[in-house]
Amino acid sequence: MEDPRLFCTFRVDGGLFGVDILDVREVTTETTYTRIAHAPDEVLGLVNIRGHIFLVLDLRRLLGMPESTVTGNSRLVLFKPSVGSAFGVVVDEIADIQTVEPDRIEAYSRNERDIVVTNVRHVDLIDAVCKLNDELIVVLNPRRFLPVIEQHLTARA
């Protein structure tokens, strides 16, 4: 019997999303960043966390949702080095850490899906979905975030 998985969940544009807790380095309130000219729109900029520089991405734009401004509830979720080097995403609101049994987690493949996630445009960022207390948690694969950015940069050139 597999162990249950823990997800760090958060809200983006009203929807509930999550990433595997093992991928998360920390969640911080730091939201002032330095803009990078010529970077794709999904890149908000660079931020200084205790002497280290991290790249900040806008999860809304990554997922293809309409943009909005940073509010007091916005949080920066930083990922561990194994996910990608020195980066994190800004989310609208942080939610709870959820424990989910593996049988409730459905891998999300492009072709066959029972549950259709409507609010996300770039569906290859979705790893799985799981139902929890009437709400759907869309589990994302953060390892695909940076490649998307790099692709945009290459495409432009």
Partner 1 sequence: MSSYVNDRLHDFIVDAREHLNTVEASLLSLESHPGPAEHTACVDRCFRAVHSIKGDAGFLGLTPIHTLAHAMETLLEKMRELAPQQSLEVLLGARDRIAVLVDDLPNSLQADVSDCLKRLQTAIEYRGAGNVALEINLAELTRLYPAGLTSFFRKFVREGTILDRQLDIGNCQLRDGLPSGKLRWMVLLESSRSRIELISRLGLSGEPSETRTAKLDIELSAQPGGLLNLFQRLDAAAAIESGRLTIPETNLRLSLPLGPVVWSGECVTDLKPQELLSRCGVTVRNSIAPVKQGQPGDFDSPALGTVSSQLSAESVVDETNRNRGAVSSENEKPNTLRIQIELLDRLMTLVGELTLVRNQSLIAFAEQDGPQRAIIQRLNSVTSELQDATLRARMQPVGNLFNKFPRMIRDLARQLGKQVEIDLQGREVELDKTILEQLSDPLTHLIRNSVDHGIELPEDRRSKGKSGTGCITLTATHEDGQVRIEIHDDGRGIDSEAVRQRAISLRLKTEAELERMTPRELFGLILLPGFSTAKKVTEVSGRGVGMDVVKTNIEQLEGTLTIDSVVGHGCSMVLRLPLTLAIIPCLIVRVNGDRFAVPQRELEEVVCLHPSGSGRIEQAYDTEVYRLRERLLPIVRFKDVIDRTTPFTAEAKAEILTSHPRTGAPPRITYILVLKLAGRRFGLVVDEVHGTEEVVVKPMHPSMKRVGIFTGATIMGDGRVALIADVEGIVEHARLSFESVLEANRKITSRDAAQQQRVLLFEYGPHEQFALPLLQIRRIEMISRDRVERVGEHEYVTVDGVSTRILRLDKVIDASAPAESDDLTGQMSLILPKFVPQPMGILVSRIVDTESLCIELQEHPEQNQSILGSAVVRSRLTLFLDMHRLTQTLFGSEVAPNSAPADPKRPKRLLLVEDTAFFREIVKRYLTAEGHEVSTAVHGEDGLSKLEAGSEFDLIVSDIEMPVMDGWDFAREARLRGISTPMLALTSLSGTHYEAKAKDCGFDGFEVKLDHDRLVRKVAQLLASLEHSI
The footprint of partner 1 (CB under 8 A) covers 32-39, 43, 45-48, 51, 53, 55, 84-87, 146, 149-150, 153-154, 156-157
| Closer residue to partner 1 in complex, CB, 43/105 | 43
| Closer residue to partner 1 in complex, CB, 10/33 | 33
| Closer residue to partner 1 in complex, CB, 133/154 | 154
Provide, rounded to whole angstroms, the least separation between the CB of residue 131 and partner 1.
Answer: 33
Provide, rounded to whole angstroms, the least separation between the CB of residue 119 and partner 1.
Answer: 25
Report the SS3 class of residue 128.
Answer: strand
Provide, rounded to whole angstroms, the least separation between the CB of residue 124 and partner 1.
Answer: 17
| Closer residue to partner 1 in complex, CB, 18/88 | 88
How far apart CA 23 and CA 19 sit, in angstroms, is: 7
Q: In Å, what is the CA distance from 12 to each residue of 9, 22, 59, 75, 155?
A: 10, 20, 8, 11, 27
How far apart CA 38 and CA 59 sit, in angstroms, is: 18
Contact 71, 52 (CB under 8 A): no
